[in-house]
Every structure is written in structure tokens, then in C-alpha cells.
Amino acid sequence: MTTGQLSPKTSSAAAEIAPDLEYTGERLVPGKIGEVLFREHEERYVFAAQYVAGKDVIDVACGAGIGTSLLLHAGAHSVLGLDIDQDAIAYAKARYRDCRFAECDARSLCLPDESVDLVVSFETLEHLREQDKFLNECRRVLRPGGRFICSTPNLAISRWSAGNPHHVREFYPGEFSDLVGSVFPCLELFAQRNRMLPFYAARKFIRRRLDEFGYRGSIDRVLRLRSQSETFRSEFVNDASRVRRSIVAYKRGIFREPIFLIAVARNTPT
């Protein structure tokens, strides 16, 4: 990873002709989400960038393509962004013209066997009913020794928030490790954004109660918890130092849990 290296900015012409992509909460849309959520996605792609040098890479469920672009300019030999959503792919093709994109179902990848060195797929697994099929497809297209990197919300944390209507099934760390490990036995687990669970749960509980009674907005303004002039970024910054602070090896603890789990697995012969 190259600290401080910027992902190439899209040209103003490309930005102007890119079709509008609605933000529904299901995927990141550049310029339409707040800094916290934007940075969470950014951190994951910068983390993956350390594995891409000289590799043939696919970005499964690439959405708007902003992460695909970062991976290409982090030194990958080639990157192909895949997504089932036609509108997302049209947006990605228009905005990131130096990248390749295609419509594709994550459960039936449009590539031959053993054709890539790295499969990246962030925040995908929890959206799918046929999770085993998706994982086996990722293994099918990987060359021997290739890597699979995926992330998912940690249910130990997310259970304290309102449920995401786009998610079919979320996982506790052991469940996530077992599922990915059933297809990729050589597996490392990482933690993104560790939190002290008792304090996190209490804060979420209080905020939900304030929402129910209509007080949260007023209290946030009084305590200045919500910025009145939040900026919305449209580009990722390839900043390795930031990732080293937010993504670390997963260590099971009594009170500490990460918001997101990241698996880095290697395709080894059975």
C-alpha cells in the first residue's frame, strides 16, 4: 500500500454524464453518504489494496465502482468489477472509464475456472440466501494459492441497531469464520473498528428510545453530536496509516467486538 496515494479522480466530463444513482442504503454512492459510512468502505478497500500488486482481481458486488477504481490504481494487473444491478454498472462504467465492469450474479460468476488471483467482495455475503454457492463460486474462479477477501457486519454489534432490510443473514464471529472456513480452510480473521460492547449497546439502546419519543434530533443538536454542515466525499484516499488503526487481527474478548469482520482466505488444494 502506498500511504497518501490518491485514487485517480474522475474527470469532470465523466462525472457530468454518469447517470444518477439513488442511495437506498444497500450500496455506497459517491457524494451521497456521510463521512463515517464512506470511511468504513474506504478502509476495507485500502486494506485489500495491499494484496493486489501485479494480480488479476475481481471485485464482486462492486456497486458504484469506487473501490474497483482504487484497486486498479493500487497496482493490480487487471481489475473487473461485477454487480447484479444494472443501474450500478451503468454508473460505474460512466464514472470510472479506465476500469472494466460487467453485470453478473455473485452466485454464478461469469468467469472461467482458475482465472483470477484475488477475489474481493465486501458486504455481500449477508445479502445472499445461497451463501455456500457464492463462496464456492469464488473458490472456483481462483487460481491455486489465490486469495479471497470478504467482509460482513458483526452480529454481536449490529443486533443492537435497527435491522437492515437488505440483509438475509448476519453472523457472529464464530459463525462467519466457520462458514468461510468450510470452503477456504486457510483463513485469517480481521476486526474493523473495535468497540467496547457494553458501552456501544447502552448508547444504541438510549438512542433508539430517544427516537421513539422524538427527542433524539433535539438532543443531538444541543450536544452538537450531528454536524450541521456534513461534507460528502466522492473519492477514496489510499491511506495505509489510517487502516492500520482501524483494521487489526481479530482477537476474541469478553467486552470488545468489532463492527465489521473481514476474512482473508487462501485457495489451497483440498
Cα separation of 221 and 209, whole Å? Answer: 17
Question: Would you state the cell numbers that stand for residue 186, as one nine-digit string?
Answer: 486457510
Query: Between vectors from CA 47 to CA 71 and to CA 15, what angle results, nearest 5°?
Result: 40
User: How confident is residue 67, by pLDDT bands cut at 50, 70 and 90?
Assistant: very high
CATH of domain 5-266: 3.40.50.150
DSSP-assigned letters across all residues of 95-112 = H-TTSEEEE-BTTB-SS-
Least Cα distance to 88 among 152, 135, 23, 150 occurs for 23
Burial of 48 by CB count in 10 Å (0-12 exposed, 13-18 middle, 19+ buried)?
buried
**Does 204 score more than 90 pLDDT?**
no
**Does 13 score more than 50 pLDDT?**
no
- The amino acid that residue 69 corresponds to is S
Which range has the worst mean pLDDT, 15-19, 81-85, 103-107, 221-225? 221-225
3-state class percentages of the chain: helix first, strand second, coil last, to nearest 5:
35, 25, 35
Cα separation of 269 and 185, whole Å? Answer: 10
State residue 7's pLDDT score: 41
The average pLDDT across 81-98 equals: 95
Which range has the worst mean pLDDT, 12-16, 169-173, 178-182, 240-244? 12-16
